[in-house]
Amino acid sequence: MSLTATDAWKALATAANGIASQPLKDLLADEARAAQLIHTVGGCYFDFTKQWVDIPTLERLHELAAATEVSTRAAAMLRGDPINQSEGRAVLHSALRGGAAANVDGEVRAVQEKMTDLANAIRGGTWRGYTGKPITDIVHIGIGGSHLGPELVVRALADYADPRLTVHFAANIDAHDLRSALKHLNPATTLFIVVSKSFTTLETQVNATSARSWFVERTGNVDAIAQHFIGVTTNEEAASAFGLDVDNLLPMWDWVGGRYSLWSAVGLPILCAVGPAHHQAFLDGAKLMDTHFAEMPVESNVPMLSALFATWNYNFLGAGSLAVLPYDERLALLPDYLQQLEMESNGKSVNIDNQSVDYHTMPILWGGTGTKGQHAYHQLLHQGTRAYAADFVVVARDEAGLGEHHTWLLANALAQSQAMAIGYDAPAEQQYRNVPGNHPSTTIVFDELSPANLGTLLAAYEHKVFCQGAIWGINSFDQWGVELGKQLAKPIFAELTGQPGGEAQDAATARLIKQLKT
Ligand code: F6P
């Protein structure tokens, strides 16, 4: 049966028709409602009270979760069923933090031990470059899931990092990215980590090749590549053909999707930066969320509730985007990371039965840090014409310790979600000041920005994405749409360079090629 034909979906459509008579501001004082909408996991407090739902609607959402068998599907994922149907793969990223019942513990542990040995050698100075000096800089080369998570976490946990080691990232095929990563680096003390699950991704191939040339041109020592390049991949053959020493390769697995892979050897720069104890705390924080997700009923299950509210917002209240608003500069890359996690996973228009869907799936996710965004796009959030939803992330503890800054930061975060929910009724003659309100948001409060809390949060989003895909009946774990662009770029590259392999292009593309070649 189509999702939109289920009783649960129809009941929500009816509820949406009536919600306007219950402004969000009128729901906020209800303590019984609040008790159902606030949940704590570890050091993370999830406050859903500013979602525009009343108790009956909440119950309809619970019914939707039951009708779409979210819990049953979650159990199938966690035990390692091949739920990624289009690629015939299991989805076991939670096994990387010990949070799934699958039989892969042995291999996961072996790789974690190898990662830890490597990180300890690099951090302890026993891993030496070709001149005998210890490593001072790591350059991580990878893109998408092989980049976004590690950079987010390394930046977010900078306060936990070893100051003797700096981690740089190069992802874009734009040479400015690699050039800025390599600027001022000494090849004798630089270690490259080339991360590519497939080891065929264009950007990573081109960046890794240029990095190797940069290294060899400066050292004149091809034999030293082994001491200065490490690889993380499922494709050992391609990596060794590239020139990487097989002993310096760390495996990935087909049962971990790229955008869910930061818990694997893809996270080696995190381990190098913060060390084994903090890295383990990060994994343990994620495992805490895995356990919560596996064991809690829908009524208090944070990822399930997050996905249900998202469905309500996108499919019934017309929200056309999700704004991710971390009020913490250390989390500046959270929107970038979540863009891949949520949009590459759930930006689909065909369901798992290969049928076109007749409802919207993932809208645009975007965002940036507060309070900078308040002086850029919040005007639109408060007085624009479109519906949206927002996630606020704040850290309770003042970890910067610089006078009033932190309290003002928190005050601004709360003021923004308050304005979104409650709005402002301007007098008739001053309608330009009117702020309608009724914009739903979730506020996530960390007691501190610790490795454990960050792990808990990222795992919560991962499981939310899973639940959202289960509700929509789509496969959250493939990304066939990305492939088309990759294929199309090849003949255009040939046309631009005059190499064989070019193809007649459409008129608009042909004109641009001509312009770029003049
Ligand atoms: O963006 C498409 C994609 O396949 C992602 O899913 C993946 O994270 C990224 O490219 C990088 O792929 P790889 O790790 O194989 O280089």
* Amino acid 111: pLDDT: 94
Distance CA 128, CA 126 (A): 6
Cα-to-centroid distance, 146 and ligand 1 (Å): 7
Name the catalytic one among 184, 375, 404, 429.
375
Q: Please determine, looking at this structure, whether the domain spanning 3-67+285-472 carries the CATH number 3.40.50.1000.
A: no
Structure confidence at residue 326 as a pLDDT band (50, 70, 90):
very high
Query: What integer is the mean pLDDT of 161-169?
Result: 96
* Amino acid 17: pLDDT: 95
* Amino acid 220: pLDDT: 96
* Amino acid 83: pLDDT: 87
Query: What integer is the mean pLDDT of 409-421?
Result: 98
Read off the pLDDT of residues 240-271 as tens digits, 9 standing for 90 and up. 999 899 999 999 999 999 999 999 999 999 99
Cβ neighbour number for residue 419 with a 10 Å cutoff? 16
- What is the radius of gyration, based on Cα positions, of the chain? 24
Residue 1 has pLDDT above 80, yes or no: no
Least confidently predicted of 83-97, 150-164, 239-253, 404-418: 83-97
**DSSP SS3 for 513:** helix
Furthest-apart CA pair in the chain: how many Å?
77
- By the 8 A CB rule, do 381 and 323 touch? yes
Cβ neighbour number for residue 270 with a 10 Å cutoff? 31
Is there an atom of ligand 1 within 6 Å of 450 CB? Answer: no
* Amino acid 301: pLDDT: 98
Domain residue ranges in the chain: 3-67+285-472, 105-252, 490-517
Whole-model pTM over 0.95: yes
Ligand 1 mutation target, pool 87, 91, 143, most atoms within 8 A of CB: 143
Give yes or no: 486 in active site: yes
- Determine the topology of domain 105-252 in CATH: Rossmann fold (3.40.50)
User: Which atom, in ligand 1's list, is nearest to the CA of 259?
Assistant: 8
Name the catalytic one among 151, 203, 342, 344.
344
DSSP states along 139-172 = EEE--GGGTHHHHHHHHHTGGGS-TT-EEEEE--
* Amino acid 102: pLDDT: 73
* Amino acid 98: pLDDT: 87
Buried b (16+ CB within 10 A) or exposed e, 331-344: bbbbbbbbbbbbbb
Is there an atom of ligand 1 within 6 Å of 145 CB? Answer: yes
Strand bridging mode 321-326 / 441-446 = unpaired
Q: Which of 324, 320, 303 is nearest to 392 (CA)?
A: 324
Is there an atom of ligand 1 within 6 Å of 264 CB? Answer: no
* Amino acid 502: pLDDT: 83
Least confidently predicted of 172-176, 253-257, 342-346, 465-469: 253-257
Is there an atom of ligand 1 within 6 Å of 112 CB? Answer: no
* Amino acid 500: pLDDT: 85
Read off the pLDDT of residues 376-396 as tens digits, 9 standing for 90 and up. 999 999 999 999 999 999 999
* Amino acid 84: pLDDT: 86
Distance CA 145, CA 258 (A): 4
* Amino acid 503: pLDDT: 85
* Amino acid 126: pLDDT: 97
Distance CA 230, CA 193 (A): 5
Question: 500 versus 349: which is more confidently predicted?
Answer: 349
* Amino acid 316: pLDDT: 98
Strand bridging mode 190-195 / 321-326 = unpaired
Residue nearest to atom 2 of ligand 1 (CA): 482
Distances (CA, A) of 47 to 267, 287, 352: 29, 21, 32
Q: Which of 82, 214, 232, 254 is nearest to 149 (CA)?
A: 232
User: Which atom, in ligand 1's list, is nearest to the CA of 142?
Assistant: 16
* Amino acid 210: pLDDT: 98
Residue nearest to atom 10 of ligand 1 (CA): 144
- Report the mean per-residue pLDDT for the chain: 96
Hey, what are 404's tokens?
């009033």
Asked if 3-67+285-472 and 105-252 have one fold, the answer is: yes
Read off the pLDDT of residues 30-85 as tens digits, 9 standing for 90 and up. 999 999 999 999 999 999 999 999 999 999 999 999 999 999 999 999 988 888 88
